[in-house]
Amino acid sequence: MPGPAPALEEIDSVTRDTHDLVHRAQAGDTRAFETLYRTHVGRVYAVCLRMVADERRAAELTQDTFVRAWQHLDSFRGDSAFSSWLYRVTVNVVLVALRSRRRRRARLEPTDDWTRIDKAGPRPAADEALDLEQAIATLPTQARTVLVLHDLEGYRHKEIATLMGIAPGTSKAHLHRARQLLKRFLNR
Amino acid sequence: MNDHAHIAPLLQDYIDDALTPAEREVVDAHLQTCQVCRAEHAALTAVMTAVDALPRSIEPPHDLWPEIAARLDAPRRVEAAAKPTLPANGRADRSPVHLRSRRGRIRLPHALAIGLALVTVVGALWLLPRLFTPAWDVARLEGAPRVGDTPLAGTGQLQRGEWLVTDDQSRAVLNVGAIGNVEVEPNTRLQLVAASLRNHRLSLASGTIEARIAAPPRLFFVETPSALAIDLGCAYRLHVDSTGGSILHVTAGYVELQHGDRTAVVPAGSMCLTRPGHGPGTPFDEDASDAFRRALAWLDFDDGGAEALTALLAEARPLDAPTLWQLMYTIDPAERGRLYDRLVDLVSAPAGIPRDAVLRADLAAIEAWDRHLNMDLDTGWFFRLFNKKKTRSAAE
């Protein structure tokens, strides 16, 4: 059951506060930027973690995201919400990292093994969300990336295709594969 | 029974509410009567519900702010001043140089340790000013290049914000901090934008440069009117014309071109065009014919459509196969058939992969072709061209 909707005044106040913090950060105020960091770090880290499936790497990419956001704050002109802009920066940082050959060799082991989830043993009843997170982490890299962008972050296939340098049809195919694998997992 | 085969591919779009009303009606009607598809629909919906219920926020294992704050000394992209100092957080004494010298004192014989420390200090004294300098050394090669309004007689320095300008008789060479150099060809306008440890950044308004960088990736950047060139450890030649378009020719390593959300990673032996408002086009082989390049530019930047594709296919040779394959799912789907037919004229198709599987973007077919051409689907542009030399030899 969702809680009561925040009052319009409250939303306005949050928007004004964020606007003020961004403005101060753009002027070089690192304390204001730290407040923005504390507000958004959970969401940024979640995107990174789900896309790369590696805690240490996700922490590094979260740092990279905020450093990049700081360096490019001047390009944020308030046309969209700051959070939207920051999450787009996050996705770009992660996708660039995934394209990096060195990091790919060292850290990512995409698999096309459809039986990998099946081999994971029976699914324990407790903490299904955690199980699902682990199942997502075992998806092939591209399938996982598309699933996170589409189903969790709300990107459309056309946007994902542009971001990843693939065709929209390929993005759909990856999403199909991800959902089929997760379906198998949930049905175990 | 055939309905299953027809409906199954539509179920995902049905769930995502991406079907036309007419298609939706067809699926609705089928679900009324087909238990198998109803079960599949229910299972996929359960997956989406479970995924949707996941928390959008996860706290990192530890507070990342101290590490981020330590990196914020890097200047803003254009406006912020380069800071020729160590981080202002009191951590300067924890530099790798210092730690190495401390270890040396503990482990090595005393005299050797002193010698090592001296070498370290001298090395640091030589290196640090070059790493952190807000200005880069510049030397005249020919003619009379200018730094700002001042003619450069022999050597000098280019300060942040200053322009280095060559006329049709002059050339110069610019040291990129301590990580490489840039040769500046005649008729070039080049500005030093940032000169810090993590951000070596030039702006090339017009003309030609040749960059040679020996450093980890993403430390050296060149802004142009149509794309940002990001060094990934490489040597390259970059020319910006009077319209703001550019042509990149990579001779070693890799360069990433970026504009908005569009990115192309160009490996050695390849070239790529950029256009204002479009960003990078499709990378192509340095030995591609002029006619092939013209057709590709027509297709990439000028909405050449079917006519441009006809010209491109007519001019394609085996070495152009990677470029054709990259276009397979970016062109109008109705054109895939003839693109495919030309591709298999140039290189053999992978065994067991039928034409129609490629045309309908079957994932297994795409992966088979990627493997066949030694490209890697997982990493898009970059790895599609990464093994192009192998592709070429296989094709020939």
Interface with B, mutate which of A66, A85, A150, A153 (most B CBs under 10 A): A66
Contact partners, residue B177, CB within 8 Å, separation at least 6? B130, B131, B133, B136, B195, B197, B200
Separation of alpha carbons A99 and A149, rounded Å? 16
For the cut 50, the answer to whether the pLDDT of residue B74 exceeds it is no
Nearest CA in chain A to B280: A165
| CA distance readout (Å), A13 to A3, A6, B5 | 19, 11, 53
Amino acid, res. B242: S
Residues in chain A: 188
Confidence class for position A116, pLDDT limits 50, 70, 90: very low
pLDDT of residue B376: 47
pLDDT at A101 over 70: no
> What's the pLDDT at B245?
92
Higher pLDDT, B93 or B221: B221
pLDDT band per the 50, 70, 90 thresholds, residue A78: confident
Question: What residues in B contact A43, CB-CB < 8 Å?
Answer: 56-57
Strands B200-213 and B220-223: parallel
SS (H, E, C) A89-104: HHHHHHHHHHHCHHHH
Nearest chain A alpha carbon to B255: A100
Domain ranges for chain A: 13-108, 110-188
Q: Is the pLDDT of residue B395 over 50?
A: no
Chain A residues touching residue B43 (CB < 8 angstroms): 183, 186-187
User: Poorest-confidence range of A39-43, A177-181, B5-9?
Assistant: B5-9
Residue B252 near residue B218 (C-beta atoms within 8 A): no
- Looking at beta carbons, which residues of chain A come within 8 Å of B80? 28
Show which of residues 35-54 on chain A sit within 8 Å of chain B, judged by CB atoms.
Answer: 37-38, 41-43, 45-46, 49
The mean pLDDT value for B212-229 works out to 89
At the topology level, CATH places domain A110-188 in Arc Repressor Mutant, subunit A (1.10.10)
List the single best residue of B16, B64, B332, B340 to mutate versus A (max A Cβ within 10 A): B64
Interchain contact A2–B (C-beta under 8 A): no
User: Quick check: A16 pLDDT over 90?
Assistant: no
Question: pLDDT class for B123, splitting at 50, 70, 90?
Answer: low
Classified as helix, coil or strand, B157 is: strand
Question: Phi and psi at residue B174, in whole multiples of 5°?
Answer: -120, 130
* The pLDDT of residue A188: 67
Nearest to B58 among A42, A159, A168 (CB): A42
Task: Choose which CATH entry (1.10.620.20, 3.40.50.720, 2.40.160.20, 1.10.1740.10) describes domain A13-108.
Answer: 1.10.1740.10
Average pLDDT estimate for B278-288: 88
pLDDT for the residue B346: 93
Decide if B43 and A92 are in contact by the 8 Å CB cutoff. no
The radius of gyration computed from the CA coordinates of chain B, to the nearest angstrom, equals 28
- Which of B7, B48, B58, B199 would you mutate first to test chain A, the one with the most A CBs within 10 A? B58
A75 vs B: CB within 8 A: yes
| pLDDT for the residue B113 | 66
Record: contact B363-A43, CB cut-off 8 A: no
Judge whether B233 is closer than 8 Å to chain A, CB to CB: no
Is the CB of residue B379 less than 8 Å away from at least one CB of chain A?
yes
CA neighbor of B384 nearest in space, from B316, B324, B333, B297: B324
Interatomic CA distance for residues B151 and B164, integer angstroms = 10
Distance CA B243, CA B277 (A): 11
Interface of B with A in 271-300 (CB under 8 A): none
Q: Find out whether B368 and B353 touch, Cβ atoms under 8 Å.
A: yes
| Architecture per CATH, B135-281 | Sandwich (2.60)
Contact: A99, B54; criterion CB under 8 Å: no
* Each residue's pLDDT tens digit, B289-333: 989 999 999 998 888 889 999 999 999 998 888 889 888 877 888
Question: Could you tell me the two tokens for A148?
Answer: 């996170």
Specify the pTM: 0.46
pLDDT at B380: 38
Hey, are the CB atoms on B44 and A128 less than 8 Å from each other?
Answer: no
DSSP assigned state of B92: G
- The more confident residue out of A34 and B71 is A34
- Sole residue written with tokens 């340095």: B286
Distance between alpha carbon A180 and the CA centroid of its chain, in Å?
Answer: 21
Whole-number mean pLDDT of chain A?
78
Find which of B68, B228, B381 to mutate to test the A interface (most A CBs within 10 Å of its CB).
Answer: B68
Q: Sorting pLDDT into bands at 50, 70 and 90, what band is B247?
A: very high
- Determine the Cα angle at A91 with ends B221 and B263, to 5°: 45
Q: How does pLDDT run across B382-392, given as a tens digit for each residue? A: 333 333 333 33
Query: What residues are paired with B266 via a beta bridge?
Result: B255
Of the candidates B135, B124, B256, the one whose C-alpha atom is nearest the C-alpha of residue B200 is B135
Determine the pLDDT at residue B232. 79
Q: B119 versus A26: which is more confidently predicted?
A: A26
Q: What are phi and psi of B158, to 5 degrees?
A: -105, 115
pLDDT in tens, B128-187: 555 555 789 899 988 889 998 899 888 899 998 999 999 988 999 999 988 889 999 999
- B248 and B274 in contact (C-beta within 8 Å)? yes
Q: Other CB atoms closer than 10 Å to residue A97's CB: what's the count?
A: 19
Distances in Å between the Cα of B122 and the Cα atoms of B91, B135, B179 are 21, 21, 19
Query: Mean per-residue pLDDT for A81-108?
Result: 72
Q: What is the predicted pLDDT for the residue at B263?
A: 75
What span, in angstroms and rounded, lies between the C-alpha atoms of B271 and B248? 5
Report d(CA B284, CA B270) in Å as an integer: 6
Residue type, A6: P
Interface residue B52 vs chain A (CB under 8 A): yes
> ipTM score here?
0.80
